[in-house]
Structure 1
């Protein structure tokens, strides 16, 4: 007789099941998309929310975190959405950029620079329209991301977002900023999806910001970036939502041949956050620089998870992730490089470093290599420690007060990853955020 028993359903799981049953008939997409949603929902009912017994989620128990799930947010009118957006920080200040606005999970064309982007060869469509035209192709994702629990949850509920197409050969004159804004009045759930298709030989900078939120809000976002052959893109993702929110953000990056990508993710906000990136090399002679910074304190929990799939020969990946953990907080880094049997001449190098600012700070590190080819150069490394007392003494001996000296050392530690982006706009904005975070902790 089998002794296996299904774990009792939690209130949050019941809320999610009821939400899907109540809305499934109104969700966008044809029969093919509906079948994808149903398959994902069946998997959710069988396994529930990811928890510590799921290897990929053992450090970030979403099932234990979510006591309940608030109602999915309805779309606000333009005035209310604009008011919610105006109440949030402007991450990039006076920097010129094309802005795309998503408020409470819903794309607002009237608040977005549709005309300016069209002039640069960029087309925007609401996700619902794109799903109606090419839903199954749009919902399809690489193998390494397909079975992830958060990806499946997004597939069930994604009803809005935006499809962005950058024409082949275009070089955008200004960055494209995608703002994901949560209103602060009441807790909501969101499940938007952004698809970015970068044409062959195109060049673009994408700035994606996650801001705002009320206590108890739950956001589950997915950004699907498809870079064509010889494309060059820079992507900066900043998560700075309010402390009482739960954030799960997924970036899926698929690279063609001779493609160059720089991707940085910064985790600063939310009480519980998981940033996961799935990177697939599908064309030869491509390179990805994958960077991350995390800053947590006062009970925050932020998880940076990365999977890189080298499925073709002659590609390079460089991963550098930095984490600063303050009082009573927990940081996590999980990174995996996969080299497929035919992916000879792969060069993949991963490094993660963490800085613990107090005795009750906690850091979990799990770097992995899965190599099935023999002519490769791959390595990973992980370090964890406190502020170097010799460096601190050196600065104090030159008249710098202790608090200021510690701030300078933490800033220098994190800035190494930020400056690897090589983009002045991103570097200045992120270093400004780092400085503000350090000032708040004094």
Structure 2
């Protein structure tokens, strides 16, 4: 089971910077324009380190910021309680979790479990940055089981930051009380951790651990044996695991829609302005096609769905898996090929699909998902299709940094 610890976090010094100018969304959800926007907000924005011009420049900036006390180290190890407030369907919701260290385990051990594939090109970049700087600038997002929500039924006192970004308010609290730290970390010793976001960073950390062990050895326990994670109960009622929708650029989209009728039944047609997730009645089989300012709700035929079930009883609970299987079998189209040819766009918000889809493109909209499906997929050792999930909202990059330069973890609770 995972060994979880507090840590000596590095944080921005509020006497030197405005915190709202230096934090940013996760690096993998922004494009070049957004990256430039955040880097222009402040010469100390975290993207100067997380998405640098060169790895060496990130190293030099980091060292300069430490020398000038732009970044300061906690005087003692602690956990961080993270409360995130946001609007969803005209309601204010709040999601709670913890930032702490989790001991690195290979996926085969069945302790930290993935649900997505990783791509070497991405891990190569992250590895070079980690090797050059010796710091983790952002946290992996992990889930654990806590049906009674005991670990987040906590009233924090020491507020470090309150940041509002994109109509979401992030509260970060420092927790240094030994009894609370022990209570949280003891509970997590008996849980598995399911990776929600950050598969590439986790894989990078495993590679970095082996690299550092070759230099400094496997004992005593050192900082590179752990990774900083944001963890949240999978039962948290305001944990939203949204689908990732698609826009496809195809030569003859009308032909595809016409051919769909051999595999799926059109059960409803509406206009984008009237669309609602309530139109999806059978979540494993229903999907929406947006074409020429209409949204058509299709339902995969029962006999077709049963074939997908026989092929994979677990993944067939995902509408995306069934839709991609349908594309491959019915139309001999593989999404990977479309991606290579820049003919597919991945979008997390339904309204953005409606705003971006052009006349000769089709948007494909999927039902919302339960995080429990992720647990089932991970426990079975399966991998969801690429860009299956979008956990909302995202945690911020830059609230806490974690040093992994090879220092022994010699403190005790």
Q: Taking structure 2 as the reference length, what is the TM-score of the superposition?
A: 0.24
Query: Which structure has greater helix proportion?
Result: 2
Q: Taking structure 1 as the reference length, what is the TM-score of the superposition?
A: 0.23
Query: Which structure has greater strand proportion?
Result: 1
